[in-house]
Protein backbone atom coordinates (compact mmCIF):
# COMPACT_ATOMS: atom_id res chain seq x y z
CA UNK A 1 0.00 0.00 0.00
CA UNK A 2 1.34 3.38 -0.94
CA UNK A 3 0.38 6.11 1.43
CA UNK A 4 -0.72 9.17 -0.50
CA UNK A 5 1.37 12.34 -0.17
CA UNK A 6 3.98 10.69 1.99
CA UNK A 7 6.25 8.80 -0.45
CA UNK A 8 6.16 5.82 1.82
CA UNK A 9 5.33 2.37 0.64
CA UNK A 10 4.14 -0.01 3.33
CA UNK A 11 4.18 -3.74 2.92
CA UNK A 12 2.59 -6.15 5.35
CA UNK A 13 2.64 -9.91 5.20
CA UNK A 14 -0.01 -11.77 7.14
CA UNK A 15 -0.93 -15.39 7.53
CA UNK A 16 -4.57 -16.40 7.83
CA UNK A 17 -4.18 -16.99 11.54
CA UNK A 18 -2.64 -13.59 12.07
CA UNK A 19 -5.45 -11.91 10.16
CA UNK A 20 -8.01 -13.77 12.27
CA UNK A 21 -6.28 -12.57 15.44
CA UNK A 22 -6.42 -8.94 14.27
CA UNK A 23 -10.09 -9.17 13.41
CA UNK A 24 -11.50 -11.43 16.10
CA UNK A 25 -8.81 -12.19 18.64
CA UNK A 26 -8.36 -10.62 22.04
CA UNK A 27 -5.10 -8.77 22.14
CA UNK A 28 -4.17 -9.47 25.71
CA UNK A 29 -0.69 -9.34 27.16
CA UNK A 30 0.77 -12.88 27.47
CA UNK A 31 2.47 -11.82 30.71
CA UNK A 32 -0.13 -9.92 32.70
CA UNK A 33 -3.36 -10.38 30.71
CA UNK A 34 -4.09 -6.70 30.26
CA UNK A 35 -5.34 -5.35 26.98
CA UNK A 36 -2.60 -4.21 24.64
CA UNK A 37 -2.55 -1.32 22.23
CA UNK A 38 -1.53 -1.43 18.61
CA UNK A 39 2.11 -0.46 18.18
CA UNK A 40 3.42 -1.46 14.76
CA UNK A 41 7.07 -1.95 13.90
CA UNK A 42 8.20 -0.21 10.74
CA UNK A 43 11.39 -1.41 9.07
CA UNK A 44 12.96 0.47 6.20
CA UNK A 45 14.17 -2.08 3.67
CA UNK A 46 14.60 -0.27 0.39
CA UNK A 47 14.31 2.97 -1.51
CA UNK A 48 13.32 3.08 -5.12
CA UNK A 49 10.52 3.18 -7.62
CA UNK A 50 7.18 1.59 -6.96
CA UNK A 51 4.70 0.74 -9.68
CA UNK A 52 1.09 0.83 -8.54
CA UNK A 53 -1.75 -0.37 -10.68
CA UNK A 54 -1.97 -2.48 -13.79
CA UNK A 55 -0.60 -1.92 -17.27
CA UNK A 56 -1.40 1.48 -18.74
CA UNK A 57 -3.54 2.34 -15.72
CA UNK A 58 -0.58 2.19 -13.44
CA UNK A 59 1.66 4.91 -12.14
CA UNK A 60 5.28 4.73 -11.17
CA UNK A 61 6.21 6.56 -8.02
CA UNK A 62 9.85 7.59 -7.90
CA UNK A 63 12.23 7.46 -4.98
CA UNK A 64 9.81 5.92 -2.55
CA UNK A 65 10.91 4.83 0.90
CA UNK A 66 9.82 1.23 1.34
CA UNK A 67 8.92 -0.11 4.73
CA UNK A 68 7.96 -3.53 5.90
CA UNK A 69 5.34 -3.14 8.61
CA UNK A 70 5.07 -5.77 11.28
CA UNK A 71 1.86 -5.53 13.20
CA UNK A 72 2.59 -5.51 16.90
CA UNK A 73 0.90 -4.74 20.20
CA UNK A 74 2.35 -3.12 23.26
CA UNK A 75 1.43 -3.61 26.89
CA UNK A 76 1.61 -0.38 28.85
CA UNK A 77 1.81 -2.33 32.09
CA UNK A 78 4.85 -4.52 31.29
CA UNK A 79 6.18 -2.10 28.69
CA UNK A 80 6.70 -5.02 26.35
CA UNK A 81 5.93 -5.29 22.68
CA UNK A 82 4.78 -8.48 21.00
CA UNK A 83 4.55 -8.89 17.26
CA UNK A 84 1.45 -10.43 15.79
CA UNK A 85 3.31 -13.61 14.84
CA UNK A 86 4.58 -13.95 18.42
CA UNK A 87 1.05 -13.59 19.76
CA UNK A 88 -0.25 -16.12 17.26
CA UNK A 89 2.28 -18.76 18.30
CA UNK A 90 1.74 -17.99 22.00
CA UNK A 91 -2.00 -18.46 21.77
CA UNK A 92 -1.39 -21.80 20.05
CA UNK A 93 0.76 -23.02 22.93
CA UNK A 94 -1.74 -22.23 25.66
CA UNK A 95 -4.53 -24.18 24.03
ZN1 LIG B 1 1.55 -6.91 30.35
Question: Which residues neighbour 15 within 8 Å (Cβ) at sequence distance 6 or greater?
Answer: 85, 88
For residue 87, the CA-to-ligand 1 centroid distance in Å is 13
Q: Rounded CA gap, 30 and 93, in Å?
A: 11
The total domain count for the chain is 1
Instruction: Give the domain range for residue 71.
Output: 2-93
When pLDDT is averaged across residues 15-42 and rounded to a whole number, the result is: 94
For residue 72, the CA-to-ligand 1 centroid distance in Å is 14
Overall pTM surpassing 0.85 (yes/no): no
The residues pairing with 89 across neighbouring beta strands, listed in sequence order, are none
pLDDT surpassing 60 at residue 81? yes
For residue 28, the CA-to-ligand 1 centroid distance in Å is 8
What would the pLDDT profile of 54-71 be if each residue is shown by its tens digit?
A: 999 999 999 999 999 999
For residue 12, the CA-to-ligand 1 centroid distance in Å is 25
For residue 81, the CA-to-ligand 1 centroid distance in Å is 9
Give the N- to C-terminal CA distance of the chain in Å, as an integer.
Answer: 34
Amino acid sequence: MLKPNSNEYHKTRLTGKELALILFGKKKCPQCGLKMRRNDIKEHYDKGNVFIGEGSNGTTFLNVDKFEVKIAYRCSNCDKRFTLSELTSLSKETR
